[in-house]
Amino acid sequence: MNTNWWMIWPGNLALSVLALYALSLLFLYPARGPLHGIIRAISRAISGPLRLGARWLLSTAEMLRSRNKMVLLAHGKEEITQGIEREFERVTAVVQRDLHDYPVLQRKLMGEITRIEEDYQKCGAVPPTPPEWTKAVAAVAKIPPTADGLVQKILGDINHSIEKIQDKAIAEYRRSYESRHKILKGFMPIWRSLNQTLTQVDRNLTGLQESASRIDAQMEQYQQISVNSDKVEHSLTSSATTQFAIAAVVLLIAVGGAFVNYKLIALPMSAMVANDYITANLQASDIAALVIIFVEASMGLFLMEALRITHLFPRINNLPDKMRRRFMWVAFSLLLTLALVEVALAVLRDWIVIEGIKLTSELAGGATVAAAAEDSSLVNKIPTIGQMILGFILPWALAFMAIPLEYFIHSARTVLGVGLVVGIRGLAFALRVVAHVARQAGNLLVNLYDVLIFLPLLVERIVRPNGGQVAGPLKSRRVAPFAAK
């Protein structure tokens, strides 16, 4: 096939190229204006819808962010309201339990303290002053002594009488002090009891102060939510992200427990259900085991709802108390029945395993292995006991999966909403970048086209010096609307 058909002079490539370039200039130069318009129109046709799409995505992201903020603040307000209600319930319980008889206790304490102070003051009282007859003794003592010694005898008798009276008074005072000390000693247990009571009252008052501080903090956060503060929005978003991560981890652990439960009951279910294949790798017994696990999880969820621990189903929470209690006992009974069924399936599983070992050993001719399988010692019963315990505990463990599930659902709305807003904004940014690239590509093609026909443009500028000055404003006016967009 001849590939040189386009050459004007087949033997001279350069001269043929120059001739074709000169001939193309005869068409490219006159078509300069229309081709520039076509290139710019194509560029606008590409960049315009992309920029409109970017604006629409940004407006959608802003609207979605407003809705996410509304939902987040509403959920945060609900949780804070519940927290405030719980704190008020705690304060009410403390006041009713410990502080309702505080005035009576206070009067009792003041009375006892007053009695103790009075007794203490009495214990410190000084003996009374000597009676008036001591002055008579002093007057007799001033009498000059006589020869018969009468005055000395009188003074000696008085001294002897005073000593007896003094000893008697001292004994009475000692007995009085001993009785007062006994009274004070008897008050020691009461004082210790009062001290313990006052310590408990102080502890209760401290707890009330802490509850009041928590209520104040929650009320402040509630006010920030009411005024749509950005600070509380970031705080609630961070809290929702943390709850989402923790709930996801707990749910993964629960899924692991469900998998263990499935492995525990899958084998005995094959002996109870027809061993038909639904698909190539799925048997009817596997579906039956999964159904039992799902029913256990559902009963646990309904039990948590009836106990008002979770609030995924408002209809259950709004039931009358009598009907709600009946619903709770029904869910509890079904869950207990399923747990007992799993205990029986665990025993059946162990029996199936033992029978399988015996059959294999008998076919292989190993009597020792069969005898070991028939051994009913406590060591060989440990796996069976362990399976029975797991079969009873795992359904109850799955029942508590409703709590992290509720947190996961509520926090996923916030986390996924934030992720969707970020994704939409990223897509809008990408569209704006592509629109900018398309617009600049149009300008690049226009400039490359002028470079291709630079010779006629150069001749035009030499021949018509004002041509470039005239064309410049026209070109700028043509490009300006495009550049503004």
Question: How far apart (Å, rounded) are the C-alpha atoms in residues 431 and 65?
Answer: 20
Mean pLDDT of 311-316: 84
Question: How far apart (Å, rounded) are the C-alpha atoms in residues 361 and 355?
Answer: 10
Question: How far apart (Å, rounded) are the C-alpha atoms in residues 51 and 472?
Answer: 28
Q: Can you give the pLDDT at residue 246?
A: 92
Beta partners for residue 277, in sequence order: 283
Mean pLDDT of 178-197: 68
Say yes or no to pLDDT of 350 above 90: no
Q: 């630079």: which residue's tokens?
A: 454
Mean pLDDT of 409-428: 89
> How far is residue 416 from each of residues 65, 68, 237, 240, 408, measured CA to CA in Å?
11, 10, 11, 11, 11
Question: How far apart (Å, rounded) are the C-alpha atoms in residues 202 and 205?
Answer: 5
Task: Pick the range with the lowest mean pLDDT from 114-118, 201-205, 278-282, 435-439.
Answer: 278-282
Contact 120, 184 (CB under 8 A): yes
Q: Can you give the pLDDT at residue 330?
A: 93
Q: Can you give the pLDDT at residue 86?
A: 74
Mean pLDDT of the chain: 76
Question: How far apart (Å, rounded) are the C-alpha atoms in residues 174 and 169?
Answer: 9
**What's the distance, CA 321 to chain centroid?**
29
Report residue 399 as tokens: 């029942």
Task: Pick the range with the lowest mean pLDDT from 176-180, 371-375, 440-444.
Answer: 371-375
Report residue 306 as tokens: 């009836």
Say yes or no to pLDDT of 326 above 80: yes
Mean pLDDT of 424-440: 92
Residue-wise pLDDT tens digits, 114-162: 766 666 665 555 555 555 556 666 666 666 666 666 666 776 777 777 7
> How far is residue 229 from each of residues 60, 145, 146, 219, 238, measured CA to CA in Å?
22, 108, 112, 14, 15
Q: Can you give the pLDDT at residue 271?
A: 72
Residue-wise pLDDT tens digits, 225-264: 666 666 777 777 888 888 889 999 999 999 998 888 888 8
Q: Can you give the pLDDT at residue 475?
A: 42
- Of 390, 392, 387, 391, the C-alpha closest to 354 is 387
Whole-prediction pTM value? 0.60
> How far is residue 452 from each of residues 18, 208, 270, measured CA to CA in Å?
13, 87, 81
Domain boundaries, the chain: 101-226, 230-400
Q: Can you give the pLDDT at residue 123?
A: 57
Q: Can you give the pLDDT at residue 248?
A: 92
Compare 314 and 300 and report the one with higher pLDDT.
300
User: Which residues, in sequence order, are CB contacts of 282 under 8 Å at separation 6+?
Assistant: none
- Of 390, 383, 378, the C-alpha closest to 354 is 383
Mean pLDDT of 199-210: 72
pLDDT grade, residue 480 (50/70/90)? very low
Say yes or no to pLDDT of 484 above 70: no
Query: What share of the chain in percent tops pLDDT 70?
Result: 67
